Amino acid sequence: MTRVIIRPAQRQAKRGNGVKPPRRAAGYVLAGGRSSRFGSDKALAELGGRPALARMLDAVSGSDARCTIVVGEREKYGHLGARCIPDRWPGEGPFGGIVTALLQSSADKYGYHWNLIVSCDMPFITAEWLNHLVAHALRSSADVMVPKSAHGLEPLCACWRTAAVKKLRTLFDEGVRKVTDAMKQVHTEVLDESVWKRFDTKNRLFWNMNTPADYEEARRILEMPQT
């Protein structure tokens, strides 16, 4: 599918025209992955005295997402205070967690049209950026709203339309496991740097922790005196 670059100059849809606005997004944080390169459960790795997952839960809760749910085991993460749902396909990568989240929303009585789905291992994501991302999604007709950084698409910090779950589940059942491969098969809109750069003044908004060295670097940065 053709990806569309969304720029701030585009006009927003006018309100007050009699069209009922869509419900706000649900929020999901992916936890409980293999963390094979990390060596331990990075969701529980402490940053600034708190688990990485707890920090991300705060960021998602501070956005315009109406609820925040962890895709991961309640036995591991329930003590952090968020609702947990099990990944339907543990060990199959983040795409399985994304489909799990969409299936949950498709059955939810509140009828959320959109889902903010993020990984727990991005310590510099902010509520302000997530709120901006959700706002773009709520005005979009796409199936996926994803930012693109200098490293490429950032599929683990994206918004997904609940109605796309049937197509995405089919792709998963057919063997697709790479999230960006799934995005190619649905209507995906891409937010370029002109949209998100003002939330990334220190060039690390989408930085994530894949290794122990990444973790130590994140700790070092977070423990530095704020200027």
Domain contains 9: no
Domain contains 13: no
Domain contains 5: no
* Phi/psi of residue 2, nearest 5 degrees: -70, 130
Q: pLDDT tens for residues 173-182?
A: 999 999 999 9
C-alpha pair distances (Å), 22 with each of 84, 110, 112, 114? 25, 11, 8, 9
pLDDT for the residue numbered 13: 37
Low-confidence ranges of the chain (pLDDT < 50): 2, 4-22
Number of structural domains (the chain) is 1
Residue located via tokens 């997004």 = 25
Domain contains 111: yes
Query: What is the Cα–Cα distance from 190 to 197, expressed in whole angstroms?
Result: 14
Domain contains 4: no
pLDDT for the residue numbered 34: 65
Domain contains 6: no
Structural domain range at position 190: 24-223
CATH of the domain at 120: 3.90.550.10
Domain contains 195: yes
Domain contains 2: no
Q: pLDDT tens for residues 106-163?
A: 998 888 999 999 999 999 999 999 999 999 999 999 999 999 999 999 999 999 999 9
Count of other CB atoms within 10 angstroms of residue 45: 21
